[in-house]
């Protein structure tokens, strides 16, 4: 059964361009409820740990540099069928392949600076939410 929780980050490029409000508006209008949210600047160590699953891939080092280059917004979201519906809302990882009207199509710079992260499974949504938030920080 599909879970109700997903995790997203508004990435440094989108934050710096002041797209945070527009992105959160799209998220709310798509029916997601914000369960926890914070703005934080990751250290390189924290960004590396969050993306540890990609360690060794050609883009890992630059991804860590980028994700620690400025503030991000970390958000836990709730909705029925959260993982799939959020991935539909944000569009493909590569913004050139993202559908019209998706968050990445509208606000991404390129494959790496692709505006937002979205969890790829129920299991990872909880792991990623726990990375940023204690349960007392959820509403």
Q: Which residues bind ligand CMP (CB under 6 A)?
A: 54, 59, 63, 93, 111-112, 114, 117-118
Our CB check for ligand CMP shows the closer of 25 and 54 to be: 54
Q: Known catalytic residue: 54?
A: no
Cα three-residue angle 92-15-90, rounded to 5 degrees: 20
**Min dist. Cβ of residue 91 to ligand CMP (A):** 11
CA separation for the pair 39, 17 (Å, rounded): 15
Cβ neighbours, 10 Å, residue 138: 12
Our CB check for ligand CMP shows the closer of 12 and 139 to be: 12
Beta strands in the chain (DSSP E): 5-10, 33-40, 72-78, 116-118
Our CB check for ligand CMP shows the closer of 54 and 97 to be: 54
Catalytic-role residue among 75, 117, 125, 133: 117
Q: Which residues are catalytic?
A: 117
């Amino acid at each position: 059964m599909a879970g109700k929780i997903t995790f997203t980050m508004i990435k440094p490029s989108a934050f710096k361009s002041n797209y945070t409000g527009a992105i959160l508006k799209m998220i709310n209008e798509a029916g997601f409820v914000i369960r926890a949210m914070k703005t934080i600047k990751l250290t390189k160590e924290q960004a590396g740990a969050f993306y540890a699953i990609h360690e060794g891939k050609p883009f890992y080092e630059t991804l860590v540099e980028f994700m620690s280059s400025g503030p991000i917004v970390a958000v836990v979201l709730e909705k029925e069928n959260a993982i799939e519906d959020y991935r539909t809302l944000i569009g493909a990882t590569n913004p050139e392949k993202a559908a019209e009207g998706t968050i990445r199509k509208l606000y991404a710079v390129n494959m790496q600076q692709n505006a937002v992260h979205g969890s790829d499974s129920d299991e990872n949504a909880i792991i990623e939410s726990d990375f940023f938030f204690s349960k007392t920080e959820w509403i």
